[in-house]
Amino acid sequence: MKDVTDLHEEVGGERLPPGQRETTRFPVLSKSGTPSLDREDWTFEVWGAVDEELALSFDEFTALPSETQRQDFHCVTGWSRFDCEFTGVTFPTLAERAGVHDDAVHVMFHAADGYTTNLPLADCMREEVMFTWGLDGEDLPAEHGGPLRVVVPHKYAYKGAKWVTGVEFLTEPERGYWEKRGYSNTADPWNEERYA
């Protein structure tokens, strides 16, 4: 298993970012409750500035090369959960499969409940940014984003869409749901970039 819990060393910060408290629980937060999703009907799409637009069933998605990583998880509301074991597909693996165009600079994640969140492409092309269907050796529970969510351990967790249904590669930056509502566009936990 790959351990990326030392990401904080990149920025010279402590493992627990400033203003955070460690918890062993995994609180459930979402913009509008947990949508009802059936893995059999779920489809993951990739579109935008790519060579090959994709539409993958859950079985097709989980057949992509995958791995398990130990990561820390930082919520913008002030709690962090250490040593989460996430299983899934890394963002670079999916990007390689789709063939990202040279003019792509930004990414928008889309979710089943209408949620969106954005990141620069460079922030996504890291091995620890994952589309994950497993948590701590079990299927990812629906309330935590199952069947599939994004995890971005170097950002606050609102940058990791739950119930993710697709990723759009953009040639111009756009803002997602919370970013349009005053949350930080950059979301760096070690700089406490919570709000714009």
Instruction: Give the CATH number, domain containing residue 169.
Output: 3.90.420.10
List the one residue out of 104, 106, 154 whose CA is nearest residue 128: 154
- pLDDT value at position 87? 98
Per-residue pLDDT tens over the stretch 3-16: 999 999 998 899 99
- pLDDT value at position 187? 97
Residue at 49: amino acid letter: A
Per-residue pLDDT tens over the stretch 103-147: 999 999 999 999 999 999 999 999 999 999 999 999 999 999 999
H or E segment to which residue 164 belongs? strand 164-170
Per-residue pLDDT tens over the stretch 30-43: 667 777 788 889 99
Residues composing the chain: 196
Q: What rounded mean pLDDT belongs to the chain? A: 95
Domain of residue 173 covers 2-23+42-190
Q: How many domains does the chain have?
A: 1
Q: Give domain status of residue 195, yes or no.
A: no
Q: Give domain status of residue 175, yes or no.
A: yes
Q: Are 86 and 136 in contact (CB under 8 A)?
A: no
* Neighbouring-strand partners of residue 167: 46, 109
Q: Give domain status of residue 28, yes or no.
A: no
Residue at 132: amino acid letter: T
* Neighbouring-strand partners of residue 134: 87, 139
Q: Give domain status of residue 138, yes or no.
A: yes
Q: What is the DSSP string of 94-163?
A: HHHHHTB-TT--EEEEEETTS-EEEEEHHHH-STT-EEEEEETTEEPPGGGTTT-EEE-TTS-GGGS-SS
Specify burial of residue 73 (Cβ count, 10 A radius: 0-12, 13-18, 19+): buried
Of 35 and 191, which is predicted with more confidence?
A: 191
User: Which single residue is written with the structure tokens 């070690």?
Assistant: 190
Confidence of residue 53 (pLDDT cuts 50, 70, 90): very high
**SS3 at position 48:** strand
- pLDDT value at position 30? 63
pTM of the full predicted structure? 0.94
Q: Give domain status of residue 32, yes or no.
A: no
Q: Give domain status of residue 34, yes or no.
A: no
